[in-house]
Structure 1
């Protein structure tokens, strides 16, 4: 459950400028204490201004801006699909403006970049670099259920015995590439590299709509993504692999039990910060803890809790046939102000399925070996409540072979951190703690 606000912030935002407006401009958003650098590149095509956005901390480049207009020293950038706009006054080589998204407004000052001095490159020392000491192969297969194509990387140690463990890696929420790239970190690439050096094979995939994989459809849910992972199991089985496991992070830790509960070719699971609580309850707690880390008052937090419970309960329990209309009427009668961008998100098929999801429905059917891990400072999927819920569900399943483990001082990305707040994700150079890599790999090797 990657922070929705960040993913929207980052994959949105549009700006452009200069007295000579063309060129590259950079600024820094302050989002709940996290500094988020942005770089906008503006050029002319004929008489029209065209711009793109880079977000260096998130490893995102060349994101197209929908609308760029510049008149009377006023620059306006818009991305209607995400409810985002930016407007600023251009003075010499800076732009003083306001970034808006939904009900949120943030100041953003952009400065023109001289020469090639772009934002500094992030240091990510754990990111693996070629040449590798193991085999990697680009693979493609089709999901027979939804008919979409999936593309990924198969990493296989040299002289690999197909009776040894191989894991399919499942990303968290939001569209992500096969490396689960975020803030310049590539955690799945780091895990795959570490595992391959220890004799463990992996298959990591681009999500629908990312990299080489098919675009998908607007109404897909986590259940559809589970069919992608099921197709990956069938693909590996057809290639002769016998000891297939699943490793899922965040929402991926929710998808893994869906697949394992019905596919007998899945032999073990690793759940990294996977949810165990009903998701409507988890989201209320997540928003509360995130707000607390951002410095909100207890009065504000409690008010937010009350509003969120009402909204999420409505979504979870809705049984009608005209959700969009009924939800709009519900919001009106509740007297709460909800931004259009937020309403659009809550009407989304994926979000509705997500809010109504109870992991126990599937985890309580899992009888194969399970390792469930979490960080003590994870505010997105709090360790204590979710590990306990997973343990309870596996006990209900009469599962005799599982382990839950809480890593002290680690966040949702399994980085060694100070508070667990979002602003640390990008600032920490470590992608994933070696302690976590060692714990997972030693447990997996024991599945031989």
Structure 2
């Protein structure tokens, strides 16, 4: 699902050699401590003839050149506003340090800035594999001719000579690299290492527009990612080390939506699929349940939860009923203007800024596609073996989706289905107490060993009967 605090968009700052220098000019670095993680933030400030200009970088999230819409520096007080990200920063320059507060979406965090790059505290990730590996790994590149882009990834093989059964890994929502890296965890690296050690080849690749892969992630939808996965399958079929009869798909979260679509469209090329917290219901229904569960664990009052449910239900109904985006936008704008109370608006943002951000989040192509996409019709067309697993503490894709997935597969006549709910695991398949996303980073475990064992044994069982 969508990652929290995602920073996107590019910007070009202007510079004039005739502008008078300012004591705030230059690059300022700080560390945000969020959900147990340290996230580097950089403000790049330039003095021009037209005043101060700036951009923000979030290098840990691969985001650079984020436009700063408003910046002022008077009497040693720095103020920065980025409405597109609901971000406000205020601070006081004291010698070589800016002591301030970073606010996003109503959440305030202390953030001091300096001109030197900060050193981050090392995080413990005991499951991360280290070289040398007892298998062959190589960087690979393959074409998606439909999109006219080249995608980059890593192919791991138990040995250089096969043939081996293989898995294409499909990331969840948001811009992800080939390791599906999130909050210091690299679950796809851990999974690929385990599977390859157990005789299964694995192809994992960077999302389009991320890391080494070409393309534009910001404008892409789930349907674009479908073609990327199809290109990955086609690439594996050209490799002599791969058993073409046993190429499978393994999708996490949104990847668990994409995998059945690809399998239904390519029945002769996909031998099995593994769904890690995949969904079985339409996107709007999933998000309503996800919001309720996360709000509850955040100790939001029952009244607030119900009020949010009513507003979101009405907004999602509009999105289902009105297909033309140009007609949808003013209708949705009117609803949000009427229903959003002043108390809902995060500090540092005007009402117009907040509404603008809500509209951008709700009506972008990816979100509209996700809210309208029902995986059930595609699951009904899947005839290959399916393993669907979920954690009992998953608040983002509740385990009730397992029953919906199994029912859809059975309706289509597919009885080669294994579903399993693992107790005490969250959306990332970590052992946990509550499943709250705020705990993902503080949990040292990346991926529960019992799920790794289930996946490798199931794949081995169907590819080597």
TM-score, structure 1 length as denominator?
A: 0.87
1:15 matched residue in structure 2: none
Over 3 Å counting, the alpha-carbon distance change for 1:435 and 1:113 in structure 2 is farther
- Cα separation, 2, equivalents of 1:171 and 1:409: 22
* 1:75 corresponds to which of 50, 75, 78: 78
Over 3 Å counting, the alpha-carbon distance change for 1:89 and 1:36 in structure 2 is farther
Q: Please, which moves more after superposition, 63-72 or 270-279?
A: 63-72
- What's the secondary structure of 2:382's corresponding residue? coil
1:118 matched residue in structure 2: 119
- Cα separation, 1, equivalents of 2:359 and 2:47: 38
Over 3 Å counting, the alpha-carbon distance change for 1:346 and 1:393 in structure 2 is same
Check the 8 A contact 2:102/2:111 in 1, yes or no. no
Q: How far 1:281 sits from its partner (Å)?
A: 0.8
* 2:380 corresponds to which of 350, 354, 364: 364
Over 3 Å counting, the alpha-carbon distance change for 1:29 and 1:161 in structure 2 is closer
Over 3 Å counting, the alpha-carbon distance change for 1:23 and 1:150 in structure 2 is closer
- Cα separation, 2, equivalents of 1:195 and 1:372: 17
Check the 8 A contact 1:275/1:381 in 2, yes or no. yes
Matched, 1:86 2:89: yes
Over 3 Å counting, the alpha-carbon distance change for 1:115 and 1:356 in structure 2 is closer
2:5 matched residue in structure 1: 6
- Cα separation, 1, equivalents of 2:288 and 2:7: 19
1:216 matched residue in structure 2: 216
Check the 8 A contact 1:28/1:35 in 2, yes or no. no
Q: How far 1:292 sits from its partner (Å)?
A: 0.8
2:426 matched residue in structure 1: 411
- Cα separation, 1, equivalents of 2:27 and 2:224: 42
Matched, 1:398 2:418: no
2:255 matched residue in structure 1: 252
Over 3 Å counting, the alpha-carbon distance change for 1:60 and 1:351 in structure 2 is closer
- What's the secondary structure of 2:320's corresponding residue? helix
Q: Deviations over 1:136-189 (max 9, x none)?
A: 121112112222221111111115422x31000000001110110000111111
- Cα separation, 2, equivalents of 1:113 and 1:326: 43
- Cα separation, 1, equivalents of 2:248 and 2:2: 23
2:346 matched residue in structure 1: none
* 1:350 corresponds to which of 354, 366, 372: 366
2:350 matched residue in structure 1: none
Check the 8 A contact 1:66/1:78 in 2, yes or no. no
Q: Deviations over 1:400-432 (max 9, x none)?
A: 211000111110000111111012100011110
- What's the secondary structure of 1:260's corresponding residue? helix
Q: Deviations over 1:201-254 (max 9, x none)?
A: 011111011011112265431011101101111111122431100000000000
Aligned 1:252-291 pairs, distance under 5 A: 252-263=255-266, 264-291=268-295
Q: How far 1:76 sits from its partner (Å)?
A: 3.0
Over 3 Å counting, the alpha-carbon distance change for 1:65 and 1:334 in structure 2 is closer
- What's the secondary structure of 1:446's corresponding residue? helix
1:197 matched residue in structure 2: 197
Q: How far 1:62 sits from its partner (Å)?
A: 7.3
- Cα separation, 1, equivalents of 2:333 and 2:114: 48
In structure 1, the gaps of 5 or more residues are: 13-17
- Cα separation, 2, equivalents of 1:176 and 1:198: 25
Q: How far 1:84 sits from its partner (Å)?
A: 2.7
Aligned 1:285-364 pairs, distance under 5 A: 285-320=289-324, 322-323=326-327, 325-331=329-335, 334-336=338-340, 339-364=355-380
TM-score, structure 2 length as denominator?
A: 0.84
2:177 matched residue in structure 1: 177
- Cα separation, 2, equivalents of 1:428 and 1:269: 28
2:404 matched residue in structure 1: 389
Check the 8 A contact 2:37/2:183 in 1, yes or no. no
Q: Please, which moves more after superposition, 337-346 or 130-139?
A: 337-346
Check the 8 A contact 2:103/2:109 in 1, yes or no. no
2:233 matched residue in structure 1: 233
In structure 2, the gaps of 5 or more residues are: 12-21, 342-353
Q: How far 1:352 sits from its partner (Å)?
A: 0.4
Over 3 Å counting, the alpha-carbon distance change for 1:23 and 1:214 in structure 2 is closer
Q: Provide the aligned length of Structure 1 versus Structure 2.
A: 432
- Cα separation, 1, equivalents of 2:62 and 2:284: 33
CA-atom RMSD, angstroms? 3.0
